[in-house]
Structure 1
Amino acid sequence: MESLDLVWVSRANAKQRRGRAGRVMPGVCVHLYTSHRYQYQFSEQPVPEIHRIPLEQLALKIKILPLFHKNNVHEVLEKTIEPPSKSNIDGALSRLQDVGALDKQFELTALGKHLAELPVDVRIGKLILFGAIFCCVDSTLTMAACLSYKNPFVAPFGKKAEADAKRKEFAWAQSDQLTTLKAYRKWQQAMKRSNHAAIIFASENFLSHKTLMMLADIKHQLLGLLASIGFVPDMPDLRKKMRKDSVASLTGTELNSNGENERLLSAILCAALYPNVVKVLTPEKSFHMQAGGAVPRQTLSEELKFKTKADGFVAIHPSSVNSTVGQFASPYLVYQEKVKTSRVFIRECSMVPQLPFVLFSAIELHNGTFTVSLEDGWIMFQVEKHEVAEMLKAIRVELINLLEEKINDPSLNLLHHERGNRIIKAITTIISKD
């Protein structure tokens, strides 16, 4: 979890800053702390980056390098100059298992081999892979670009309320990611008219035109990565410098046939961000009396509580379109990150229907009850017939096997693969139904 903590600099940081004063001419540097604090309370060097950052991507790289095929991740990282703690390594391996990149024996799965080839965060990698499999390449690449770079919405000083109101005008499916996708598409339509029209649109809707242009460039880079591992056909035009977003036209209608399916897009977000799951806890239903009798009272946003397995109660960040929502269509949200400031906040969250948890999570069956394994059955569902649970589990196994085939044969076209096409269509149909 990212944490914004106020800490003292190290002695090495202080010396480097002192050097700035005499760089081009003699100068004086005044430090706002005592010499005693400097000598006895400051650490000598900053905390090494390997102790501060997530280790998932590094662990994946170690797993695919032939040099380390006889060593496990712990053995390799213990040989670094300042090795990370065992708990940090264990945490990274556990998260890779949650994502589906490692199996129970900590060996690479088919999905893990694909993710190791992509130089992006494992969850973003999973998002674009599933987007290619389920024929919504352009939409998922847009969301992945936003998650890997930054959100294009801006809130100028003194205009935060106006900016929040504009952002909520784009709200879609109780999802920050889909809201940003909708705003990006509107900007793209303006861009087709002229660059000036796009700039005006961005300014009127509190969007950064520069950030949106960067997102378009990142989308092309991500598409190139998908092409390099065989998930989409190779495209010579990708090697050219693009002045506008051409991903949809380059990939064609077939690879984007489900790009408007909001339930499927929410499901793919669930697959990518799992197990970053939050339960929405609502208060007991209350009523107020009217002339026609008792009427259920609408729940207010401040009455809702949000709970994660690891951190207990958290809050939705005020910048989210869900921060003022009083009623969710499903009691589960997935989020990209947690940030600790005055309290623990979740950022970039999306409401997800219940079926995606079943299809994109680890399932355990117990006499007609199947558990979506989120840390020892934290979330549980019950079905009327054991056969239904078995069928859903079988579909998930088929999807995993399909990924295995794809890794063994990168040229395999899943859209024209008879069994693969049936599996993808079946999952899409199940998820799309209300």
Structure 2
Amino acid sequence: MTSTARAVGQGRCVPLLLMESRFRRRTLMLVSTGTAVLFVGTACGNSATFVGAPDLEELDSAAQITLTPENETEDAPVTTELEVSVEDGELTTLTLTSADGETVEGDWRADGSTWVPAEPLSYETTYTARAVALDKHEIPAESETSFTTMASPGNRMGASLWNSSEYEYGNAMPIMIDFPRDYSVPEDKRDDVERRLFVESDPPQMGAWHWFSGNHLEYRPKEFWVPGSVVKVRLGLGGLPLGDGLYGMQDISGTIHISSTTRHIEADNATKQLTATENGEVVKTAPISLGKDSTPSYSGTMIVMERLAETVFDTTAACGGKVEGDDCYRTDIQWAERLTWSGQFIHSAPWSVGDQGTRNVSHGCVNVAPDDAEWIYNFTRLGDPVVVKGTGVELPYGDGFTAYDMSWEEFLEGSYLPAPDAEDDGDEESGNDD
């Protein structure tokens, strides 16, 4: 489309092409409503002046912005997140600043539902959120909301991340969180807790949380961790209302590394053999003895919880502290890997070498010869999976790190949030969102 304008100093008219992009669209809109438009410039097109150009900031935008929290909200939790909805437009800018003008860092949840500050907001502080959106003509609209956070509560409660930051684990290690043993998070608050638990993995892997009790929950990806994964965790619980008048003590962050080498162990009751694989290749087999009929070994997918070069097995508490009979003993043990809280291990058992590979005589542990036990001890790491098969007795729920002893569907039943999107293999952030 062209328009005719007077070229000053040349005494003739030349066609001048209207500006492209949004300036062209707004010019066309103004012409259609009868507004006069005049170009003044040189005939050679070296310069032109647009006389009567509209001030874009004075035009009404069709975009409508809604910001939450509502303006002048008082006593907002320091875990407050910003919600923004835009009708007839697209959000381009969102900022959050404190009363002294300091900009708050943060980012969107992967599903775009809320904008999350990178750390808890300060208590008794006023914040202002400002959003800018453009309508289909790229005319801007702006909205602001201010809110003030609550005073610091005196009744705050801590939580802990079981995993050690910067430590390297095997690829079956769950992420585990504990609240104090004498406290149970109310069920109507558990979804809020999950939303504030942020997990970001590289490479991205779909995962979820599972509450094993009111004070213990675990996170795992659908499959074992991809070898070499780096997992960043943030427990964003500082200032979060937890029910019963309690609030989270503080945020906790950590970075967990998953070994690039996969090491798995399988103990098969049918063959009385242990098989160790590394990156899918068999690297060792060894004869074993599992639990006898009166004290059977559990079958299931367990995880190496603890590694002990030396320890003492002491069961005398049930016998008044006395060593007597077959079940009350105090024995020095070498090269042990804990598999359950109830006390099943892989360990050196020189006394049962003659039975290993042929019959079961242990109190539930996986007995191996001393040299084999030392090799296994040096081979395994915390977080390596150990599968025991064919004993006829299932591993009890929660007896050890049992996250992978459940199917993915069973594991999801322990979450208080919707299941993650099966088509989204991105990072999970705060309860299956990312």
Superposition TM-score, scaled by structure 1 size: 0.22
Comparing both structures, which one devotes a greater share of its residues to strand? 2
Structure having the larger proportion of residues in helix: 1
User: Larger radius of gyration, structure 1 or 2?
Assistant: 2
**So what's the TM-score if we normalise by structure 2?**
0.22
